[in-house]
A and B are shown apart, each in its own frame.
Chain A
């Protein structure tokens, strides 16, 4: 299935782009499996999703936890803990 993935702040700078369209294999069904799949892209990605720093996720503009399932056409975003205000 095809989805859109967005990256923000420190994470955007680490991966070096802000958004992409990806075609997921059937094994990717939720945030945890998406993180695992993206981690296979190389050292930067592996460090990002398996390192010490917290990565938050949103699906279609709503904050979600790692077990949230992903549907075709979803907009998934990865970002660090927020620091506004």
Chain B
């Protein structure tokens, strides 16, 4: 498992190659990359990501561990950037390896859904008209809740 919280950019190709070469049992690598995008008509100039050092890493480890326990996956890489980002910059990478694609797809989506509602990151958008904190969305809560295990 590789969990990184960093201000520097990451190279998706390098990360996927590292994962791919780690075991001969890997039959599938599924990855997700989140980007800074235009949200409103009000053009974003920059995006600042704040986090809670210590809790962020712990939270990401726990989410990755849950995915490893729940699905038959081999390894997980999560890289999340913090600090100041620009439009179209990469924010987050989640990559999962498994023997078969189905488990890797599910685990990757689960990790992203949980990350968006559990990991202590906060986005602030800076536009030409000022700055504002991004509000949490109920659609993200719903996406996370659908993974809850039924008794």
Contacts and interface: CB of A to CB of B under 8 A. Distances in A.
B144 to A, nearest CB: 11
Contacts, number: 72
B124 A9 contact: yes
A84 B55 contact: no
B135 interface: yes
For chain A, which range describes its interface: under 10, 10 to 19, 20 to 34, or 35 or more residues?
10 to 19
A80 B52 contact: no
Nearest to B122: A9
B136 A10 contact: no
B118 A63 contact: yes
Contacts of B34: 85
Interface stretch (B15-23, B64-72, B99-107, B109-117): B109-117
B135 A83 contact: yes
Contacts of B51: 84
Contact of B136 (A8, A61, A81): A81
7 contacts: A61-B52, A61-B55, A61-B59, A77-B120, A82-B120, A84-B51, A85-B121
